[in-house]
């Protein structure tokens, strides 16, 4: 199967053109990691580039540079800055071209000369006639580049913005599909995030040795929207597609529904090497995941989440299960998918409230594990709410990456993974309380996070700005930040009933964004203070 990972964005150009600073700004804008071949050479050599030139001559430096370039060119989805002379070597140039897009940061010769003139750490200028050197190279850069950007006189961020614009103009970013790895040793897998990738899903399926058919499990209304495309993609991947549907609704996440699916799979001859393909929101990925975990003691699972909640949370991490009348998710298994394919184009079909509810889990991912994502959400709230595809790819990929990092630390929720329950202790209590039946899960989590921020403050763990940051980002996304909460006595039994209950009430709190701590034994006055702060005046 073809990998559709995002290409590298390789910055070339003269020394002094600002490749490093622009590269870092660009990496932040594109949510891509950054590296610099000169820095790689220095790290390996344990000396500066100038010292390498002095001790090993230009030949020694070029040898080291080739090694760094080879390594950088083996990656995909990175912003890479290379030294001014790197692309003069045809082997380097070819490898970099094969790895992605080359962007030439052009600057007028005079400006360059003025900027780097007397810098002794720029070794070549110390020896050769700069003007001659630059003229010769300029031709090479222009011939090699996919995109030329003039940055002279602009701030670093403005140059980075021009690069993004140029790449988009060339159609080099729109096709960008992000790959997020969930690192779990031999059970590791990729989460692919892109726009329109469900239609070309054959390119994102994991290796499935011995598989001949695939059972797609979904709701009837989702089958109508998405199955024709998925069916085609599965057929092109050599898998006979079969469709099993069950009605939507949390009450369908039941043992009875699981049994109906198991039996239907047995009747249709689903073999142990054939994958189950879950197509839908959290109810589908939970139920289909459990069926896959237990049919024939486990068959491969591929998730195609279609809701925002499922794309950033439910479909990643291997938690599967069904509800009992006695409680939610009481029966299940940890069963990792072999791949997750998140097509943000599916989000277009979501009702507004469900989409916003999913955003609450994105905000949670940001507060727990990626504070930078919160800045992006606030800055781009309007475009996020318009579900702009390019932006949603960034948002979903970052939230998925945050979840993936936490899951990688603690696959079976024996400890660290509990931080993903941020905001959920109060949320579960509200969902169980008759007065709050109208709240969506995301709305309950939004209120739960504001409460947790106030609680962190009341406990002296966090400062006053934490709750403010919560309110700002949640309000920007149209999520509630307060509710007419009942007194503590009334809520307490519901808090205690939470599945995560263990040795008294436990809360995930933040010292600051990105620094979660699990706290137990919180005194009642602190709980009351936080409730009061979160309580809406009617």
Q: So which residues are the catalytic ones?
A: 297, 319, 361, 403, 413, 417, 421, 424, 428, 441
- As measured in angstroms, the least distance from the Cβ of 499 to a second copy is 8
Q: How many alpha carbons lie under 13 Å from residue 16 in its C-beta half-sphere?
A: 21
**Residue 492 in the binding site for a second copy (CB under 8 A):** no
Tokens of 325: 């009348």
Q: Which is nearer to a second copy, 281 or 321 (CB)?
A: 321
H/E element, 434: none
Cα distances (angstroms) measured from residue 338 to each of 61, 183, 327, 330: 43, 12, 29, 24
Q: Which of 70, 115, 138, 296 binds a second copy (CB under 8 A)?
A: 296
Strand 213-218 vs strand 276-280: parallel, antiparallel, or unpaired? Answer: parallel
- As measured in angstroms, the least distance from the Cβ of 433 to a second copy is 20
Contact criterion met (CB below 8 Å) for 79 and 11: yes
Count of positions on this chain that bind a second copy (CB under 8 A) = 32
Give the Cα separation of 294 and 299 in Å (integer).
Answer: 8
- As measured in angstroms, the least distance from the Cβ of 255 to a second copy is 5
Residue 484 has φ and ψ, to the nearest 5°, of -75, 70
Angle at which helix 488-496 crosses helix 524-534, to 10 degrees, equals 110
Draw the binding track, 126-165, toward a second copy (x: CB under 8 A; -: no contact): ----------------------------------------
Give the Cα separation of 521 and 459 in Å (integer).
Answer: 11
**Residue 287 in the binding site for a second copy (CB under 8 A):** no
Q: Which of 23, 176, 332, 480 binds a second copy (CB under 8 A)?
A: 332
Nearest to 28 by CA among 372, 355, 536, 447: 372
**Residue 294 in the binding site for a second copy (CB under 8 A):** yes
Site stretch for a second copy (CB under 8 A), options 65-73, 112-120, 323-331, 340-348: 323-331
Question: What DSSP string runs through 26-86?
Answer: HHHHHT--EEEHHHHHHHHHTS-HHHHHHHHHHHHHHHHHHHHHHHHHT-SS-EEE--TTG
Tokens of 516: 């979660």
Tokens of 162: 């021009």
Question: What DSSP string runs through 165-198?
Answer: HHHHHTTTTTT--EEEEE--GGG-EEEEEESSTT
Q: Which of 330, 382, 511, 523 binds a second copy (CB under 8 A)?
A: 330
H/E element, 9: strand 8-12
Give the Cα separation of 73 and 9 in Å (integer).
Answer: 10
Site stretch for a second copy (CB under 8 A), options 68-76, 240-248, 287-295, 394-402: 287-295
Q: Which is nearer to a second copy, 3 or 520 (CB)?
A: 520
- As measured in angstroms, the least distance from the Cβ of 210 to a second copy is 8
Taking residue 305's Cβ as centre, other Cβ atoms within 10 Å add up to: 30
**Residue 497 in the binding site for a second copy (CB under 8 A):** no
- As measured in angstroms, the least distance from the Cβ of 290 to a second copy is 8
Burial class of residue 247 in the structure, from the number of CB atoms within 10 Å of its CB (0-12 exposed, 13-18 middle, 19+ buried): exposed
Q: Which is nearer to a second copy, 162 or 417 (CB)?
A: 417
Q: Sheet containing 339-343: give its strands across.
A: 178-182, 189-194, 339-343, 301-305, 276-280, 213-218, 240-245
Give the Cα separation of 494 and 431 in Å (integer).
Answer: 9
Site stretch for a second copy (CB under 8 A), options 115-123, 215-223, 278-286, 295-303: 295-303
- As measured in angstroms, the least distance from the Cβ of 146 to a second copy is 45
**Residue 331 in the binding site for a second copy (CB under 8 A):** yes
Site stretch for a second copy (CB under 8 A), options 10-18, 76-84, 314-322, 516-524: 314-322
Tokens of 304: 């195609």
Site stretch for a second copy (CB under 8 A), options 56-64, 77-85, 288-296, 398-406: 288-296
- As measured in angstroms, the least distance from the Cβ of 46 to a second copy is 37
Q: Which is nearer to a second copy, 230 or 432 (CB)?
A: 432
Estimate to the nearest angstrom the gap between the alpha carbon of 199 and the chain centroid: 21
Q: Which of 19, 64, 178, 319 binds a second copy (CB under 8 A)?
A: 319
Q: Which of 295, 367, 451, 507 binds a second copy (CB under 8 A)?
A: 295
- As measured in angstroms, the least distance from the Cβ of 531 to a second copy is 27
Q: Which is nearer to a second copy, 84 or 317 (CB)?
A: 317
**Residue 298 in the binding site for a second copy (CB under 8 A):** yes
Draw the binding track, 203-222, toward a second copy (x: CB under 8 A; -: no contact): -------x------------
Rg (Cα) of the chain, in Å, rounded? 26
**Residue 242 in the binding site for a second copy (CB under 8 A):** no
**Residue 334 in the binding site for a second copy (CB under 8 A):** yes
Footprint of a second copy on 248-277 (CB under 8 A): 255, 258-259, 262-263, 266-267, 271
- As measured in angstroms, the least distance from the Cβ of 118 to a second copy is 59
Which residues lie near a second copy (CB under 8 A)?
210, 255, 258-259, 262-263, 266-267, 271, 290, 293-298, 319-321, 324-327, 329-334, 412-413, 502
């Amino acid at each position: 199967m073809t990998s559709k990972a995002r290409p590298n964005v390789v910055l070339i150009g003269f020394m002094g053109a600002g490749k490093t600073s622009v590269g870092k700004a660009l990496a932040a804008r594109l949510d891509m990691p950054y590296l610099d071949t000169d820095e790689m050479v220095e790290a390996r050599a344990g000396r500066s580039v100038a010292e390498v030139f002095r001790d090993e001559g230009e030949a020694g430096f070029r040898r080291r540079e080739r090694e760094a370039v080879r390594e950088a060119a083996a990656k995909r989805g990175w912003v890479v800055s290379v030294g001014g002379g790197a692309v003069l070597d045809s082997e380097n140039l070819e490898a970099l071209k094969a790895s992605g897009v080359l962007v030439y940061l052009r600057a007028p010769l005079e400006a360059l000369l003025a900027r780097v003139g007397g810098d002794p750490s720029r070794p070549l200028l110390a020896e050769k006639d700069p003007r001659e050197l630059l003229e010769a190279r300029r031709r090479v850069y222009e011939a090699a580049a996919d995109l030329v950007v003039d940055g002279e006189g602009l701030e670093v961020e403005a140059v980075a913005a021009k690069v993004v614009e140029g790449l988009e103009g060339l159609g080099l970013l729109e096709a960008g599909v992000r790959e997020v790895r969930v690192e779990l040793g031999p059970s590791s897998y990729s989460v692919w995030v892109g726009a329109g990738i469900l239609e070309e899903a054959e390119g994102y399926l994991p290796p499935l040795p011995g598989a001949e058919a695939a059972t797609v499990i979904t709701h009837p209304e989702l089958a109508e929207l998405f199955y024709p495309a998925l069916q085609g993609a599965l057929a092109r991947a050599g898998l006979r597609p079969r469709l099993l549907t069950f009605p939507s609704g949390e009450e369908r996440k039941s043992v009875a529904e699981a049994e109906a699916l198991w039996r239907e799979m047995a009747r249709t001859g689903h073999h142990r090497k054939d994958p189950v393909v879950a197509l839908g929101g959290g109810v589908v990925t939970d139920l289909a995941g459990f069926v896959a975990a237990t049919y024939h003691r486990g068959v491969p699972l591929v998730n195609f989440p279609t809701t925002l909640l499922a794309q950033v949370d439910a479909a990643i991490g291997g938690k599967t299960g069904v509800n009992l009348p006695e409680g939610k998710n009481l029966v299940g298994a940890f069963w990792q998918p072999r791949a997750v394919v998140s097509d943000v184009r599916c989000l277009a079909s979501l009702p507004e409230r469900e989409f916003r509810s999913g955003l609450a889990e994105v905000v949670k991912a940001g507060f727990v594990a990626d504070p930078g994502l919160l800045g992006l959400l606030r800055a781009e709230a309007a475009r996020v709410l318009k579900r702009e595809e390019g932006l949603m790819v960034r948002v979903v990929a970052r939230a998925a990456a945050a979840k993936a990092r936490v899951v990688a630390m603690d696959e079976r929720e024996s400890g660290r993974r509990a931080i993903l329950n941020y905001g959920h202790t109060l949320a579960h209590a509200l969902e169980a309380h008759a007065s709050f039946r109208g709240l969506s899960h995301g709305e309950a989590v939004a209120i739960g996070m504001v409460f947790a921020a106030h609680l962190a403050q009341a406990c002296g763990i966090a400062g006053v700005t934490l709750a403010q940051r919560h309110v700002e980002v949640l309000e920007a996304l149209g999520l509630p930040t307060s509710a007419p909460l009942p007194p503590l006595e009334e809520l307490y039994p519901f808090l205690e009933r939470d599945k995560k209950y263990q040795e008294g009430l436990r809360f995930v709190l933040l010292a600051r964004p990105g620094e979660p701590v699990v706290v137990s034994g919180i005194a009642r006055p602190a709980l009351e203070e936080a409730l009061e702060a979160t309580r809406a005046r009617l």
